[in-house]
Amino acid sequence: MTMSNLNYFRFFRIPFLAFSIAALMLSGCTAGGSDGAEKHKISGTVTFEDTAVQEGNVTFYNDKSSASGQLDTSGAFEIVGGLPAGKYKVSITPVDISEAPSFGMDKGKTVVAKPKDVANIPQKYRSAGTTPLEETVKSGDNNFKLNMTEG
């Protein structure tokens, strides 16, 4: 081995070892939750008084995990990656819109994201603490019909 080959090896040895260790650690990841639980497919529809909610986010929460999916124009959603079996609170939130500063004015002002003002997602459904929606994820495919009401 020549001296230039030896220096080349020394230069790349540390990054190569770091990459190898990271790859080994990541290869131990499973398709389950943080506790290794098997995840199950989640999909469904969201309506407000039996009319499709055409935009927003659906989030399933419990003490161990949470996941979200986005509504399409038919009110359908899918949570990519699924969730472990168990009981979940379900919130429905409007999409966020950004308020950017106008050009040439308010330099340094940050862009603010705030929920879009919508009437078909009542306030009580927007938080895990206030939503009355609860669903149980079971083994296999799960399809939920979530209907919100004003009252």
CA–CA distance, 137 with 120 (Å, rounded to integer): 25
pLDDT of residue 46 exceeding 60: yes
pLDDT of residue 131 exceeding 90: yes
Q: Which of 90, 80, 88, 87 is nearest to 41 (CA)?
A: 80
Determine the average pLDDT of the residues in 16-45. 61
Confidence of residue 134 (pLDDT cuts 50, 70, 90): very high
The whole-number pLDDT of residue 37 equals 87
Confidence of residue 1 (pLDDT cuts 50, 70, 90): low
pTM: 0.68
The number of helix segments (H) and strand segments (E) in the chain equals 1, 10
